[in-house]
């Protein structure tokens, strides 16, 4: 019997159920579709001529979306503009850029030692810009922002929370036949229910999702991010999280996450195909208007750094500053780049690429219908 009450610390939070309870017929059917789409995404990501384009841009879009869920709002322009130097950026932009850094930190730690409680703590610390330890102070409550009603009270007491986190880690690495995508879905609920840190749990949990896929060998590059899907289905996300707590409604929750994986994989596949098409078209036009347009490294820079500085071209392409300026200037004169003066800095912006990155994609709802953003 579930004795959970929203206003009482859920120190009795149980571990996720065994595989035979999670892998229902509905869930397994959704897992087949999600695994197929994810495998296609993985292949497309490593097949693109310059994967750095994806590694630089997709995590930044995820950082923006994941931060938006926590009401930290910035723009794609601001993020790319301050990517190399955030000293003049707004607090929201700096916070979002820390999320992107946390993605990279988490990826490196996962490759080195796997997804662990310590990995989660270091990811959260990077997001928050300070050392984050397991919650020790009692009284944490999740509040409905509209009604001010307490909707959930996570476990409390340092030893209790640490024990639940160890339980979570054992589940993540359990040697059984549970489908890795189903494991990820269950582990995401469990991490959010434990709520191990005083802040940053939502964003940390969303980073852990992709890290689990990397550790399981389903993704070679961290390019699958669910934050946009969660934004578009935010009411369902929180309703289904609560239903697991209150009613042990695991099937609906896991199916929701698997649907998100499938639809986000297909959406990202379309994005990658569009990027490849634009790169080829942009390259043809660049070669027609500039000697630099024939330089493959120059082409790479303009998509890795859509807010491009002259010094970046000098360093990457091994050319003089006048040559780099001439190459960029020729493309700006042909309206292929926007020449923008920002203080003492001169930026050349690949607007076509930026517009492609932020172009809305259809996103799926758990019932299979599609919402146009």
| CB-neighbour burial class of residue 281 (10 A; exposed 0-12, middle 13-18, buried 19+) | exposed
Q: Distance between CA atoms of 350 and 275, rounded to whole angstroms?
A: 12
- Number of helices (H), then strands (E), belonging to the chain: the values are 16, 7
Residue for token pair 């002259």: 310
Round the average pLDDT of the chain to a whole number and report it.
92
pLDDT in tens, 15-44: 999 999 999 999 999 999 999 999 999 999
**What per-residue confidence (pLDDT) applies to 334?**
96
DSSP H or E run through 348: strand 345-349
Task: Give tens-digit pLDDT for 80-126.
Answer: 888 877 888 899 999 999 999 999 999 999 999 999 999 999 999 99
State whether residue 307 is helix, strand or coil.
strand
Assign 3 a pLDDT band (cuts: 50, 70, 90): confident
Asked whether the CA dihedral 316, 326, 319, 278 is positive or negative, the reply is positive
CATH number for 352: 1.10.10.10
As for how many domains the chain has, the answer is: 2
Give per-residue pLDDT as tens, 52-78: 888 888 888 888 888 888 888 888 888
pLDDT of res. 361:
66
| pLDDT given for residue 369 in this prediction | 43
Statement: residue 286 has pLDDT above 50: yes
Question: What pLDDT score was predicted for residue 368?
Answer: 42
35 and 140 within one domain: yes
Q: In this structure, are 202 and 323 located in the same domain?
A: no
* Residue 86, pLDDT score: 81
CA 157 to chain centre: 30
Give the residue numbers spanning the domain of 309: 291-357
- Report d(CA 313, CA 206) in Å as an integer: 34
The label of the residue with tokens 């994810």 reads 38
> What are the two backbone dihedrals, phi and then psi, of residue 348, each rounded to the nearest 5 degrees?
-115, 115
DSSP character for 24?
-
For 115-160, the pLDDT digits (tens) are 999 999 999 999 999 999 999 999 999 998 889 999 999 999 999 9
State whether 117 and 195 are in the same domain: yes
Position 3 in a domain: no
Confirm whether 87 is domain-assigned: yes
For the chain, percent helix, then strand, then coil, each to nearest 5?
60, 5, 30
Nearest to 53 by CA among 354, 359, 269, 301: 301
Pair 256, 310 in one domain: no
pLDDT at 345: 80
Residue 353, in any domain of the structure: yes
- Band the pLDDT of 8: cuts 50, 70, 90: very high
Cα 224–chain centre separation: 7
Choice between 306 and 117, residue whose per-residue pLDDT is larger = 117
Distance CA 119, CA 109 (A): 6
d(CA 373, CA 363): 7
Radius of gyration of the chain (CA): 22
365 has pLDDT over 50: no
CA–CA distance, 114 with 308 (Å, rounded to integer): 35
**pLDDT band, very low/low/confident/very high, at 370 (cuts 50, 70, 90):** very low
| Statement to judge: residues 222 and 334 lie in one domain | no
Does one domain contain both 215 and 343?
A: no
Residue 229 within a domain = yes
Which of 239, 270, 301 is the endpoint of a domain?
Answer: 270
Dihedral sign computed on CA atoms, order 278, 259, 115, 231: positive
The confidence score (pLDDT) of residue 310 equals: 94
């Amino acid at each position: 019997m579930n004795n959970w009450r929203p206003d009482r610390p859920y120190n009795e939070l149980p571990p996720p159920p065994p595989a035979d309870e999670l892998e229902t017929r509905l869930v397994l059917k959704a897992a087949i579709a999600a695994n197929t789409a994810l495998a296609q995404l993985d292949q497309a990501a490593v097949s693109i001529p310059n994967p750095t384009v994806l590694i630089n841009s997709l995590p930044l879009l995820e950082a923006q979306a994941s931060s938006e869920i926590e009401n930290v709002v910035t723009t794609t322009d601001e993020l790319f503009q301050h990517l190399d130097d955030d000293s003049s950026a707004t607090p929201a932009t700096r916070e979002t850029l820390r999320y992107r850094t946390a993605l990279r930190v988490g990826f490196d730690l996962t490759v080195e030692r796997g997804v662990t409680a310590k990995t989660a703590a270091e990811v959260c610390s990077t997001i928050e810009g300070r050392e984050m330890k397991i919650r020790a102070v009692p009284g944490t409550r999740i509040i409905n922002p509209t009604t001010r009603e307490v909707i959930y009270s996570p476990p409390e007491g340092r030893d209790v929370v640490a024990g639940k986190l160890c339980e979570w880690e054992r589940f993540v690495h359990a040697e059984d036949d549970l489908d890795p995508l189903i494991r990820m879905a269950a582990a995401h609920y469990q991490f959010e229910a434990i709520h191990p840190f005083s802040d940053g749990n939502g964003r940390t949990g969303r980073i852990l999702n992709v890290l689990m896929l990397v550790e399981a060998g389903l993704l070679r590059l961290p390019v699958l991010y669910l934050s946009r899907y969660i934004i578009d289905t935010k009411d369902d996300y929180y309703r289904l999280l609560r239903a697991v707590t209150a009613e042990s409604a695991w099937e609906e929750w896991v199916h929701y996450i698997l649907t998100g994986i499938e639809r986000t994989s297909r959406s990202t596949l379309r994005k990658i195909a569009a990027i490849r098409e634009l790169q080829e078209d942009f390259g043809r036009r660049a070669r027609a208007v500039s000697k630099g347009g024939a330089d493959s490294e120059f082409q790479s820079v303009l998509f890795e750094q859509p807010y491009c500085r002259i010094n970046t071209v000098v360093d990457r392409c091994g050319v003089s500053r006048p040559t780099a300026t001439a190459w960029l200037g020729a493309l700006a004169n042909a309206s292929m780049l926007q020449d923008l003066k920002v203080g003492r800095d001169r930026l050349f912006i690949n607007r076509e690429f930026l517009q492609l990155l932020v172009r809305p994609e259809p996103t799926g709802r758990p019932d299979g219908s599609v919402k146009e953003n």
